[in-house]
Copies of this chain bind each other. A is one copy, B any other.
Amino acid sequence: MTRFGSTVRELREQLRQDDPRFSLRQVAQRVGIEPAYLSKIERGDVAPPSEATTGRLAEELGVDRDWLLALAGKVSSDLQEIIRRHPESFAELIRKLKEAPEDAILRVVREVRDGERYVAHPG
């Protein structure tokens, strides 16, 4: 159903072309899981791994953690915690941005980033 496994495999094989340390076994060891498990993950034989494991996998493969988590069908727990502090506001904001194209979201991001009017003042 998801492209998680095949994506991980492709990423790993790309890296492997330049560096033999990216064999399934060695990556599994660095990530801290059994090779057999990573094999099943890459072939989609099992569901994507936990948030923690996916995070270490993302770092190992040099891709964005939130991006890989999304492929795994998850949302980072630290983001969820932030949302839970203002559930109604964030809910409205996110649902409003549901139909928005990527660049519109990025514009909001940029506005928030630039405008110090949005962040709490340190002094």
Interface residues of A, Cβ cutoff 8 Å to B:
64, 66-67, 69-70, 73-76, 78-80, 82-102, 104-109, 111-113, 117-120
- 8 closest A-B pairs (Cβ-Cβ)? A70-B87, A66-B91, A70-B84, A66-B87, A89-B105, A75-B80, A104-B118, A99-B120
| Residues on the B chain within 8 Å of A111, using CB | 108, 111
Knowing A91-B76, A108-B112, A112-B108 are in contact, say whether A97-B118 is a contact too (CB < 8 A): yes
**Contact yes or no, A88 B66, CB < 8 A:** yes
Is B69 in contact with A87, judged by CB distance below 8 angstroms? yes
> Closest Cβ of chain B: how far from A8's Cβ, in Å?
16
Residue of B nearest to A106 (CB): B89
CB distance from A115 to the nearest CB of B (A): 9
